[in-house]
Structure 1
Amino acid sequence: MIRSTHRRGRHKVFIGMAPGVGKTCRMLQEGKEMLREGTDVVVGLLETHGRLETARQAEGLEQIPRKRMRYQDVDLEEMDVGAVLARRPQLVLVDELAHTNVPGSEREKRWQDVEMLLLSGLDVYSTLNIQHLESLNDLVAELTGVVVRERIPNRVLELADEVVLVDVTPETLQERLKEGKVYAPEKVGQALANFFQRRHLVALRELSLREVADRVENDILPSLTPLRERVMVCLANYHTSKRLLRRAARLAAAMDAPLLALTVQDPNRFLSREESLILEECRQLCDDVGGTFLREESAEILPTIARVAQEKRITQIVLGQTMRSRFKALFRRPLSERLQHQLRSLSIDLHLISEGLPVQPSHDTAP
C-alpha cells in the first residue's frame, strides 16, 4: 500500500466522444494558462500522433523525457514516473489515461501511474475517450462493432475532482478527419467507413454528454429535480419477483433509464433455502438485464425504501401488488399506500404490477 504525507493531488479529466475532438489541445491550453499564472507545470506524457496543431500547443511547456524500454526487440517509450516525482512540479499533464504500459513496467496501466502521482500530492490533468470506460464496453461494442481493449475502471472517473467535456459535432469531427488533422491520409477512408461513421459518433457523443450530465446532477444538484429518469424495483422472496424485475427492466429500457433492484431483508428473519435461491436468481437476472442489485438489511422496510430512493435519486418505483384477503384489506392499508405516504415529500412515480398470489406467505416485511 502506498502511503504519503502529502495531500492527494487534484485530478482533472478532459473527456470526449472520440479521438480528434480536441481533448489534448484543450489540456495543453489550460496547462499553459496555469503556467502563465505562476504554477509549475510539466508534460509527463504527450501523444501528438503526428498532429501539428497538437505539437504547436505543447510549445513553451517543459516535457519530462520518456523512459525507454525494450520489448520483443523493439524500443518503446513510456512516461517516466520516477523522473516526474524527482522533478516534483505542481501540475503534470498526462495524455491518454487508458493506455496500457509496456510489459515489464512498474504498473500495468497509465491510470495507475496517474494514481501514483496523485497520491504523491501532484495535481494531474489527463485525457480520456468515453469508449474506454469499463461500464460502457459492451454498449460501445454493440453500437460501433468495435471491442475496446484498453479500459479504465469507472471509479477513476468518479474520483476525479473535475471532468471537462470537450465536444464537437459528428460532422465537424468527420471534416477534421478528411483534412488530415486526426489520422494520416491513408487511414482516413477506413476510419470514416468504420468507427467514425456518423451514427457511431452520434451515439458516442450522447454517451459523453450523459456521463458529464449525470456527474453534474450528482455533484452539484442534490436537492433539485433529477435530470433523467431512474427506475427502482422492490423485490421480495417470491417466485414472481423475476417477472416483476423483467417488467421493471422493460420500463427502464423504454425510459432509457438506469435500473436499480432493491431487496430489503429483516435481519431477524431467517431465509429459507428456496427464498435464498430466489434472491440469487434475481441477482443474476438483474446483472443480465444491465441493472444494479442492492440488498439492504433492515426491519424498517418502507423507511428503508424511501431512504434508498432519495439517496439514489430515483424517479420511478416498481412495486408488486399481491392479492390480499378481504379481512386484511379491512384492517390494514395496502403496502403501496403506506409507501406513498413515506414518499410524500419526494417527486417519485409509483408503478403497481399485479403479481397474483405469492408462493410464500407474506410477512409484509420484504418488498
Structure 2
Amino acid sequence: MTQPDANREKRPDPEEILARVMRQENHPTKRGRLKVFLGFAAGVGKTFEMLNEANRRKQRGQEVVIGYVETHGRQGTVEQLGDLEVIPRKKVEYRGATFEEMDTEAIIARRPRWVLVDELAHTNVPGSLREKRWQDVEAILDAGINVETTLNVQHLESLNDTVHDITNVWVRETVPDKIVRDADEIKMVDITPRSLINRLERGDIYKADKVQQAMQNWFREGNLSALREIALREIAQEVDDDVTAYRKDKHIQDAWNTSDRIMVCITPSRSSLRLIRRGWRISQRLHGSLVAVYVETKPGTSEEQEILRNDFALAERLKIPIVTLQGNVGNELIRYARENRITQMVIGHSSHSRWHEFVYGSLVHRLTKELRSMDILIVAQPQEQAE
C-alpha cells in the first residue's frame, strides 16, 4: 500500500532507541491491552472497523498511531486512514529484494498509547528480528503499549485441521490460541456469507481477474457459512469465559441462565438410561450443553459395574461427556453444579426407604434446598423397577 506522507519522516536513530530502552529498563511498565478484531474471511471489514475505532479514539483525545495497516487498495478502508500518524515501515533486504515490515522497535521508542497492527498472523521476512508479527505484538504489549489488531478465525492454531476439513486448504500462517485467549477484548466483525459474496462480485475485495477463482475456492458459500459459525462459537466461548471469571471474582454462586447447561446424575444402584435419554432430549430442544456426572463413593459390586457400563455406553453413543467424581454424593453434585453453572439437573427418584431418608436425609431435598436458582427434574422410575 502507498503510505501517507508520514512515511517520509526521519526515522529514529538506532542509538537513540537503545538509549531510551536502557533508561526504561529499570522501570517496569504495566503490560498493554490487546483488542482483536476477529473475522472469518477477507473483506468482512476488520481493518475498516479497526481504523474507524482508532479515529473515534483520536477524537476523544487518545494518542493513536498506525504501526502497520494494509488497505489492499479498498477505497473505504483508505478513506479511514484519515490523518492518523503512521510509524514508517522498516526495510528488510532478502535475496536481492527489499521488503517493508512493521518497525516494532520504532513503535516501542515512540511509546504511543495505542498502536494499530493489521494482519496478526503475518510471517515476517527472513532476517527480521522476530519470525512472526504476533511476536512483535507481544513485545509491544510488554512495553506497556495498547494494541488493536485484526485476525481471521482460520489462523488460530488449534483450528488448523478443522479449517482444512471444511475448505480443503491448509492455512500456513497460524497464531497460538493463547494470544487470543489472553486478549482483553475481542470484537467480532460479522457479515452474512451472501453479503460477503456480493462484495466480492462487486470487486470490493479483490480485483476483477481474481473474483472467479476466489468464488470457486475459499469463497464458496458453504465454506463461508462454516467459518462464520466457527468464529461465532469462538466469540461465544470468550463471552462465557468472561462471565465465569466475573462470577468467580465476585464470589457469585447462583447460576446465571445465559445458556442452558444440563447435568444428568448417574447412579450405580439402578439403570440411568432413562435419565440420560431425557437429558439428551432436553439439551437438543434447548440447544444447550449436556454432561453426565457419576459420584463414586466405594467400589461397586459386579451388578453395579454392569449398570454403569451400560449407562456410560449410551452416553458415549450420544456423544455426552462423562465426569466421574469421588466423595460425598450431595457435596460433589452441588459443588460441580455451582462451579460449572449448571442450569438444569436431571436426577432419578430416590430408591431409599422413608426410614433411611428420615435418618440420613433426602438427597433430593438437599439439592432443591441448596440449588434454588437451578431447575431440578426428578424422573420417576418405570413401575416394573419400583421397589
Superposition TM-score, scaled by structure 2 size: 0.67
Is structure 2 residue 32 aligned with structure 1 residue 9? yes
Q: Classify the secondary structure of the residue corresponding to 1:187.
A: helix
Q: Determine if contact 2:38/2:152 at 8 Å carries over to the other structure.
A: yes
Aligned twin of 1:345: 373
- The correspondence of residues 281-300 of structure 1 with structure 2, limited to 5 A, is 299-300=327-328
Aligned twin of 1:52: 75
Please point out which of 57, 72, 81 is paired with 2:104. 81
Partners of 2:161 and 2:284 in 1: CA distance: 16
Q: Classify the secondary structure of the residue corresponding to 2:215.
A: helix
Aligned twin of 1:357: none
Is structure 2 residue 361 aligned with structure 1 residue 306? no
Is structure 2 residue 232 aligned with structure 1 residue 209? yes
The number of residues matched between the two structures is: 338
Superposed displacement of residue 25, structure 1 = 0.7
Say if 1:199 and 1:69 are closer, same or farther in 2 by CA, change over 3 A.
Answer: same
Is structure 2 residue 145 aligned with structure 1 residue 117? no
Superposed displacement of residue 23, structure 1 = 0.8
Q: Determine if contact 2:344/2:374 at 8 Å carries over to the other structure.
A: no
- The correspondence of residues 19-58 of structure 1 with structure 2, limited to 5 A, is 19-58=42-81
Say if 1:3 and 1:159 are closer, same or farther in 2 by CA, change over 3 A.
Answer: farther
Equivalent AA in structure 1 for residue 339 of structure 2: E
Partners of 1:257 and 1:73 in 2: CA distance: 57
Q: Out of 135-144 and 172-181, give the one that drifted further.
A: 135-144
Is structure 2 residue 88 aligned with structure 1 residue 65? yes
Q: Classify the secondary structure of the residue corresponding to 1:167.
A: coil
Q: Classify the secondary structure of the residue corresponding to 1:7.
A: coil
Partners of 2:63 and 2:45 in 1: CA distance: 23
Deviations 1:41-95 (CA, angstroms, capped at 9, x unpaired): 1111112223233222223112212233344555433322111101111100011
Superposed displacement of residue 115, structure 1 = 2.1
Identity over aligned residues, as a percent? 44
Is structure 2 residue 114 aligned with structure 1 residue 91? yes
Aligned twin of 1:178: 201
Q: Classify the secondary structure of the residue corresponding to 2:65.
A: strand
Say if 1:194 and 1:66 are closer, same or farther in 2 by CA, change over 3 A.
Answer: same
Is structure 2 residue 125 aligned with structure 1 residue 102? yes
Say if 1:202 and 1:333 are closer, same or farther in 2 by CA, change over 3 A.
Answer: farther
Larger helix fraction of residues: 2
Say if 1:246 and 1:228 are closer, same or farther in 2 by CA, change over 3 A.
Answer: same
Q: Classify the secondary structure of the residue corresponding to 2:53.
A: helix
Partners of 1:233 and 1:156 in 2: CA distance: 35
Aligned twin of 1:157: 180
Partners of 2:279 and 2:123 in 1: CA distance: 38
Q: Out of 126-135 and 5-14, give the one that drifted further.
A: 126-135
Structure 1: segments with no counterpart, 5+ residues: 276-281, 355-367
Deviations 1:325-348 (CA, angstroms, capped at 9, x unpaired): 99x988978978866665443246
Q: Classify the secondary structure of the residue corresponding to 1:209.
A: helix
Superposed displacement of residue 184, structure 1 = 2.2
Q: Classify the secondary structure of the residue corresponding to 1:146.
A: coil
Say if 1:118 and 1:46 are closer, same or farther in 2 by CA, change over 3 A.
Answer: same
Partners of 2:213 and 2:189 in 1: CA distance: 24
Q: Out of 157-166 and 28-37, give the one that drifted further.
A: 157-166
Say if 1:224 and 1:344 are closer, same or farther in 2 by CA, change over 3 A.
Answer: closer
Partners of 2:239 and 2:222 in 1: CA distance: 26
Equivalent AA in structure 1 for residue 341 of structure 2: R
Q: Classify the secondary structure of the residue corresponding to 1:149.
A: coil
Equivalent AA in structure 2 for residue 303 of structure 1: N
Aligned twin of 1:360: none
Partners of 1:73 and 1:249 in 2: CA distance: 63
Deviations 1:223-250 (CA, angstroms, capped at 9, x unpaired): 664343445577999xx99xx9999999
Superposed displacement of residue 122, structure 1 = 0.8
Partners of 2:164 and 2:286 in 1: CA distance: 22
Superposed displacement of residue 24, structure 1 = 0.3
Partners of 1:90 and 1:340 in 2: CA distance: 52
Q: Classify the secondary structure of the residue corresponding to 2:67.
A: strand
Aligned twin of 1:190: 213
Is structure 2 residue 165 aligned with structure 1 residue 142? yes
Superposed displacement of residue 100, structure 1 = 2.9
Deviations 1:202-257 (CA, angstroms, capped at 9, x unpaired): 233333334334434543585664343445577999xx99xx99999999789765
Say if 1:248 and 1:110 are closer, same or farther in 2 by CA, change over 3 A.
Answer: farther
Is structure 2 residue 256 aligned with structure 1 residue 228? no
Q: Determine if contact 1:65/1:80 at 8 Å carries over to the other structure.
A: yes
Q: Determine if contact 1:231/1:252 at 8 Å carries over to the other structure.
A: yes
- The correspondence of residues 233-312 of structure 1 with structure 2, limited to 5 A, is 299-300=327-328, 302-312=330-340
Partners of 2:223 and 2:170 in 1: CA distance: 13
